[in-house]
């Protein structure tokens, strides 16, 4: 059982591509502009329903001497619930089952920390990773801010291989870049590359929302890289990349260990971008 758990939680970067992609030679010929990193948590998002409360049976099992379960607010904590979170997550107090029909498991206590430092670090990391990616291909991007750029969260149907033990909340969704209103005025090149930073977090051992089996300490990064045709404002290509690390033995990590987990997750995501980038 331990071996199966370790294998299931091993780092496994994934990526997908979509769109009508130009060749790198076209980028060199027509030029490419690079937008500032877009933090997905800052983008408009549908209003979330209130998370299910502890079920009637669960409430009857609560020890009155213990701190009551953390209440997740759909507005205040929406970025965490949607998996758009940047920061550190601390779980505690074991787990609870929520709902009155299909019971979901989550940590009884959930605490959020260091959102601002992680945001600053994550934006700097992704910007540097994308710049290095372009430099390796002989592309010299022109810095350009196109203004507001949006993305749509598309629900993932069915059951994933790591559902219940992955270090992310359920239900899952993928990110799809939205078209701009029209041609991009003032763009210095035909193509515009936009990096989206969706997730950049660390955590101790515990249960994410819907994570039946839980997981030990770890880190996660999720990014999307979208290439827009500035003559139309429509995305011509994009790739989603995930980097993750879940420890096989550490539940309560030190600060240095959390930093190392994040470095491994960064490397996984950068490798996935490298493999998924235009060929």
Phi, psi of 110 (to 5 degrees): -135, 125
Residue 221 lies in a domain: yes
Residue 169 lies in a domain: yes
Residue 241 lies in a domain: yes
**Mean pLDDT, all residues of the chain:** 89
Lowest mean pLDDT among 5-9, 99-103, 123-127, 274-278: 5-9
Residue 208 lies in a domain: yes
- Tell whether the model's pLDDT for residue 164 goes beyond 90: no
Residue 167 lies in a domain: yes
Domain that holds residue 18: 2-47+115-276
Give the mean pLDDT of 61-68: 73
Residue 129 lies in a domain: yes
Residue range 19-59, pLDDT digits in tens: 568 888 899 999 999 999 999 999 998 888 887 776 665 66
pLDDT at 142: 96
Residue 86 lies in a domain: no
Tell me the CATH number at 21.
3.30.160
Domain count, the chain: 1
pLDDT at 182: 95
Residue range 224-244, pLDDT digits in tens: 999 999 999 999 999 999 999
Residue 70 lies in a domain: no
Q: Count of alpha carbons within 13 Å of 269, Cβ hemisphere only?
A: 32
pTM as predicted: 0.90
């Amino acid at each position: 059982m331990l071996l199966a758990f370790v294998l299931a939680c091993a780092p496994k970067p994934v990526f997908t591509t979509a769109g009508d992609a130009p060749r790198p030679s076209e980028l060199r010929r027509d030029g490419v502009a690079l937008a500032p990193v877009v933090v997905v948590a800052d983008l408009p998002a549908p209003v979330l329903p209130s998370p299910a409360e502890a079920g009637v049976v669960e409430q009857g099992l609560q020890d009155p001497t213990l701190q009551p379960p953390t209440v997740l607010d759909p507005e205040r904590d929406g970025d965490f619930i949607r998996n758009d979170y940047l920061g550190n997550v601390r779980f505690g107090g074991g787990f609870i089952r929520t709902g009155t029909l299909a019971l979901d498991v989550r940590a009884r206590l959930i605490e959020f920390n260091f959102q601002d430092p992680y945001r600053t670090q994550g934006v700097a990391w992704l910007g540097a990773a994308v710049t290095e990616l372009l430099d390796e291909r002989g592309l010299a991007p022109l810095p350009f801010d196109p203004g507001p750029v949006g993305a749509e969260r598309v629900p993932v149907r069915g059951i994933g291989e790591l559902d219940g033990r992955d270090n992310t909340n359920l239900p899952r969704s993928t990110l799809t870049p939205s078209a701009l209103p029209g041609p991009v005025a003032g763009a210095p090149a035909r193509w515009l590359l936009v990096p989206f930073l969706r997730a950049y977090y660390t955590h101790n051992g515990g249960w994410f929302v819907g994570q039946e089996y839980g997981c030990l300490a770890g880190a996660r990064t999720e990014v999307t890289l979208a290439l827009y045709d500035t003559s139309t404002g429509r995305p011509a290509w994009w790739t989603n990349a995930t980097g993750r690390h879940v420890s096989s033995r550490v539940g309560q990590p030190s600060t240095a260990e959390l930093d190392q987990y994040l470095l491994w997750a960064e490397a996984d995501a950068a490798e996935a971008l490298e493999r998924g980038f235009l060929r």
